[in-house]
Amino acid sequence: MLIETLAVGPLQVNCYLVGCPQTRQALVVDPGSEGERILAALQAAQLEPVAIVNTHGHFDHIGANRFLVETTGAPLMMHSADVPLLRNARQHAAAFGLAAEPSPEPERLLADGDRIAVGEIELQVLHTPGHSPGGICLYGQGHLFVGDCLFAGSVGRTDLPGGNHEQLIDVIHAKLLTLPEKTVVHPGHGPDTDIGREKLNNPFL
């Protein structure tokens, strides 16, 4: 699996380019902003985007959706429970004194247990609500893309509309901490970590 990380936008969201080395097909995870930079990175790596996935619908993770959908033709995917957040992104951003580019509607609605094929790579969708109702993680080949569900030494905030702290902690224990301890965790902000480290050291868990 090829993985390139770009920290984009004023909130430095981690946008991940997840590529298949055999076919050069790629998934764009959480293109929060700077669409032209993301597209340039795809082209420099000779990767063809076949899907764009939002781990959740908060404004800082969806800002380059429209640009990438229109320039690459790749379908946008997310969980149905976060579509209202996607549609309300501009108002949500304004509450933080920021602006958000409106996103197109998702072409595919994801659910727990779904699979996303990227060339010869397959990623499993894990529905992980708590930070937002439709938050998801993507798991495959020892890598876990968690959005704002889990961070190195922390967990996602739950004081935004649709957040639920107890639900978030429960789902992290049930679906993430049960994965192999060497699983590399790629969060929506900040540095990578792994499941074993978070089981041992994360004070919220």
Report pLDDT digits (tens) over 188-203.
Answer: 999 999 999 999 999 9
Nearest to 186 by CA among 157, 154, 141, 148: 148
- pTM for this prediction: 0.97
With the C-alpha atoms ordered 58, 151, 19, 127, is the resulting torsion angle positive or negative? Answer: negative
One of 3.50.50.60, 3.40.605.10, 3.20.20.70, 3.60.15.10 is the CATH number of 2-201, namely 3.60.15.10
One-letter amino acid of 40 = A
Residue 202 burial by Cβ neighbours in a 10 Å radius (0-12, 13-18, 19+): middle
Residues 165-182 pLDDT 10s: 999 999 999 999 999 999
d(CA 32, CA 77): 14
Nearest to 136 by CA among 61, 66, 78, 85: 78
d(CA 159, CA 95): 14
pLDDT number for residue 107: 98
Residues 68-92 pLDDT 10s: 999 999 999 999 999 999 999 988 8
One-letter amino acid of 111 = A
Residues 24-42 pLDDT 10s: 999 999 999 999 999 999 9
Query: Which residues, including other chains, have CB under 8 Å from residue 83's CB and lie 6 or more apart?
Result: 57, 105, 106, 109, 134
Secondary structure (DSSP) of 109-121: EE-TT-EEEETTE
